[in-house]
Structure 1
Amino acid sequence: MSQAFQEADSLADALLAGLARPIVFVDLETTGSNATEDRITEISVVEASRAGIERWSVLVNPGVPVPPFISRLTGIEDAMLRGQPTFESLAPELAERLHDKIFVAHNACFDCGFLKNEFRRAGIAFRADTLCTVRLSRALFPSVARHGLDALIARLDLAPEGRHRALADADLLWQFWQKIHALYSRDLVDAAIKTLARRASLPAALSEGALDALPSTPGVYLFDGDDDVPLYRQSINLKQRVAAHFSGDHRLAKDLSISLRPSVASKPARRSENWARCCSKQSS
């Protein structure tokens, strides 16, 4: 065995031995980008624990056709999914695999949003302590502009076995995890993770379900206060951006009474993206 492989194995062993909780690196393939309307077609989980590495991957019958452009991207076609288990039939096993483990994904809001909706349709409540590798990459490499998987592959010399299939991409996240621990001290990585892991503090009038229902797609949202002067914002990921307003120790989130309702062109705007209207009033 070459020295490089020996060093990689030694690092992996050290990382696994130091885990306080199991970590699951998760990737999904779906029929589209809308977590409430589209469906999952493939689920892959790479679990890292003190016992070692376990890989689990399954195709899922979404019950709806796979759009041609998605098939061209992933190679997953309708014929491959016929006869495969539905998400509902897989839900109990998957829930057990994810239970009480750190959920790591690239654009974790996307994957977690899809899973929450699928679990809800299956009658199972799903919560996860999530860590987004896009955000972690930005925290560790602040001077770098691009943090997509292809950019990580090129910058960190990761070894993809394929792209746009769930298991290959989940494996890339495990490689990324090993690489950042090779480049940085454990204390530095842990500090970055603790900063990112601060949970959102939602106002009492805004339910987690309402936040989950926001699409992880481009769009415009606004805060409309008592002075009737709206605050407009746009984002490439509505759910992630709106949630960011309530992350960390934002006292404002506790002082506002915020409700959410869908709105389409209720204010002048030349946009065709999804809209979310967040109406806020100061608590009395």
Structure 2
Amino acid sequence: MYAILDIETTGGKYNEEGITEIAIYRFNGHEVIDQFISLVNPEREIQPFVVNLTGINSNMLRSAPKFYEVAKRIVELTEDCILVAHNADFDYRILKTEFKRLGFPFKRKTLCTVELSQQLIPDMESYSLGKLARALGIPVSDRHRAQGDALATVKLFKMLLDKDKRKSIIKNSVKVEKRSKLSSNLKNIIEELPSDTGVYYIHNAEGDIIYIGKSNNIRKRITQHFTNSNSKSKKIQTLVTSVTYEKTGSELVALLKESEEIKNNKPILNRALKQHKFSQGLYSFVDDRGYVNLRINHIKKNEKPITTFTNRQSAISFMNRMIEQYELCPKLCGIQKSETSCFHYDIKECHGACISDESADAYNKRTSSVIQKNTYENKNMILIDRGRDIEEKSVILVEDGIFKGLGFFDLNHQINNIDILHSLITPMSNNRDTQHIIQSYMRRNKRLKVVELSKL
């Protein structure tokens, strides 16, 4: 017996979604013998993109039953059934999460029609439900609504049953949920953690911090620590008794806090290399013709690069982007070696600085722009990024090229003078690590808001 279903959700963070609509068809292998279709009040906000996709909005759900009111019917309809869905892992996870909120265990065998289709109908252009149904001539009404998608899945599953002549593929594709290998104390720790960006601290029985990390999803990262089999994870699993955390909202804030906290606490399981994550630097010099040359070189102790990179590959990738964006000469950037003109000059993508066809003044204006954009030496600026909630922003302060610290401010308050800004900032250490973290983040995140202090 099968229970073929489709679920629509609110969207949002992993394991924090709620069900907005559910459709289940109890199927005996030949025909549908029972069904249940209902909107569900998720008691939480629906993400705007989900409203646009499904057409289901909060007004439609105000009078809909809450999950606990339909839970009994779902249990009855799926009892002794294999759950079948298009991307079954998702629908099964959502159902288990909802039942877990009620304190009720929900365990079923599952079958995924995506995986079955890939085996029984190979070489399709796409295995999304809409495109697969269209290619196979399966009519779909109310796409992205539970009833329409569940009915399409019923028709698709019938077709897959027919194609599996010996019924061996479908039988072998049934998934049985394995018992969790996590001990109860590790499970309990994970349950208390948020799926937010921040810094986490792993403590031993004495309360000492044994490991510090940062993640865009703290719960997911700790779960990885507790389930991985590498030597560090095994040590963590043996020693951990609790995990504390600090939400940051911004990945940049998390990176800066992680760096500072590791230096201050020196946890036994943090790698020493954490303090030296970069090896390559961008440098400049003026050649005997007066042209400013750029070079990627290994960082030496007493040298001060314009900006830094984690490895040579990322540095070369950056240099190639600058060459293209600022129309620089690859030869003067150390990317191409030639006795005469560079290859880019031959294909008219270099203005000829390599053979003095372009004046040094004209060329140096563009290299100066690259240097100016990628260094914050002597600069006074603030970086504004995400906050810990929707009504908040984070702010990082750099004065005279020195990282001063970070803080948070409410969107209802304007940062309109330097005194207000200083009152928001928690002082932090300035070092080569923080410089690398900030510069690297600025390169990678084009949406980061950068404001010069003189403009406040």
* TM-score, length-scaled by structure 1: 0.63
Amino acid in structure 1 at the alignment position of 2:10: T
The answer as to 2:68 corresponding to 1:88 is: yes
Structure 1 CA distance for aligned equivalents of residues 53 and 114 of structure 2? 21
Q: Aligned AA for 1:143?
A: D
- Separation in 1, partners of 2:189, 2:129: 29
Counterparts of 1:99 and 1:78 in 2: how far apart (Å)? Answer: 31
Which residue in the other structure is 2:130 paired with? 150
Q: 1:139 to 1:89 in 2, by over 3 A?
A: same
Offset, 1:178:
1.3
Partners of 1:214 and 1:134 lie apart in 2 by 32
Residues 131-210 of structure 1 correspond to what in structure 2 (within 5 A)?
A: 131-190=111-170, 193-197=171-175, 199-200=177-178, 202-203=180-181, 205=183
> C-alpha offsets along residues 137-179 of structure 1, whole Å, 9 cap, x if unaligned?
1222343352110221122211112200001111111101111
Deviates more, 1:29-38 or 1:121-130: 29-38
8 Å Cα contact 2:5-2:23 kept in structure 1:
yes
SS at match of 1:62: coil
Letter in 2 for 1:49: N
SS of structure 1 residue aligned to 2:131: helix
Partner of 1:79: 59
**Letter of the 2:4 counterpart:** F
- Distance, in Å, in 1 between the alignment partners of 2:164 and 2:61 is 42
Aligned match of 1:37: 16
Secondary structure at 1:43's aligned position in 2? strand
What amino acid is the match of 1:43? I
Selected match of 2:36 from 42, 56, 63: 56
Residue 140 and residue 94 in structure 1: after superposition, are their counterparts in 2 closer, same or farther (change >3 A)? same
Question: Contact between 1:91 and 1:122, CA under 8 Å: does it hold in 2?
Answer: no
User: Does the CA-based 8 Å contact 2:6-2:147 persist in structure 1?
Assistant: yes
CA shift for structure 1 position 208: 8.1
Over 3 Å counting, the alpha-carbon distance change for 1:169 and 1:209 in structure 2 is: farther
Distance 2:129 2:59 in 1: 28
- 1:35 and 1:114 in contact (8 A); partners too: no
Give the Cα–Cα distance (whole angstroms) in 1 for the partners of residues 177 and 121 of structure 2: 22
Quote the residue 1:118 is aligned against: 98
What is the DSSP-based 3-state SS (H/G/I as helix, E as strand, rest coil) of the residue aligned with 1:180? helix
Compute the displacement of 1:35 (Å). Answer: 4.5
What is the SS of the residue equivalent to 2:80?
Answer: coil
Task: Work out the CA distance in 1 between the residues paired with 2:44 and 2:76.
Answer: 26
Secondary structure of the structure 2 residue equivalent to 1:85: coil
Displacement of 1:126: 0.6
Q: Distance in 2 between matches of 1:200 and 1:141?
A: 28
The structure number with the bigger radius of gyration is: 2
Secondary structure of the residue that 1:103 maps to in structure 2? strand
Aligned to 1:3: none
- Taking a change above 3 Å as real, the CA distance of residues 213 and 133 of structure 1, as seen in their structure-2 partners, is farther
Equivalent pair of 2:15/2:97 in contact (CA under 8 Å): yes
Matched to 1:175, the amino acid is K
After superposition, the Cα gap between the structure-2 partners of 1:160 and 1:50, relative to the gap in structure 1 and judged at 3 Å, is closer
1:188 Cα offset (Å):
4.6
Aligned equivalent of 2:48: 68
Q: How many residue pairs were aligned?
A: 217
Aligned AA (1:78): S
Query: Does the 8 A contact of 2:138 with 2:155 survive in 1?
Result: yes
| Offset from partner CA, 1:53-78 (integer Å, 9 cap, x none) | 12210011111232332111111111
Amino acid at match of 1:30: T
Cα gap change, 1:91/1:195 in structure 2, threshold over 3 Å: closer, same or farther?
A: closer
Spell out, residue by residue over 1:209-251, the C-alpha distance to the aligned partner (whole angstroms, 9 max, x if none). Answer: 9999999xxxxxxxxxxxxxxxxxxxxxx89xx8xx99xxxxx
The amino acid across from 1:63 in the alignment is E
Shift of 1:49: 2.3
- Aligned CA RMSD, in angstroms, stands at 3.9
Aligned partner of residue 115 in structure 2, secondary structure: helix
Q: What aligned pairs does 1:217-228 form with structure 2 within 5 A after superposition?
A: none
Question: In 2 relative to 1, CA 210–126 (structure 1 residues): closer, same or farther, beyond 3 Å?
Answer: farther
Residue matched to 2:5: 26
Go from structure 1 to structure 2 and tell me whether the alpha carbon gap of 1:175 and 1:29 turns closer, same or farther (over 3 Å shift): same
Once the two structures are superposed, residues 12-71 of structure 1 have per-residue CA deviations (whole angstroms, 9 ceiling, x without a partner) of: xxxxxxxxxx20111111110545212110011011127941221001111123233211
What amino acid is the match of 1:146?
A: S
- The residue type paired with residue 32 of structure 1 is G
Whether the 8 Å contact between 2:40 and 2:66 is mirrored in structure 1 is yes
Distance (whole Å) between structure 2 residues aligned to residue 85 and residue 47 of structure 1: 21
Offset from partner CA, 1:77-102 (integer Å, 9 cap, x none): 11111111100122122122222211
Tell me, which stretches of 5 or more residues in structure 1 are unaligned? 1-21, 216-237, 247-251, 273-284
* Percentage of pairs with the same residue: 31
Q: Give a deviation string over 1:108-149, Cα, whole Å, max 9, x none.
A: 111111111111111211111011111111222343352110
Give the stretch that moved more between structures: 134-143 or 257-266: 257-266
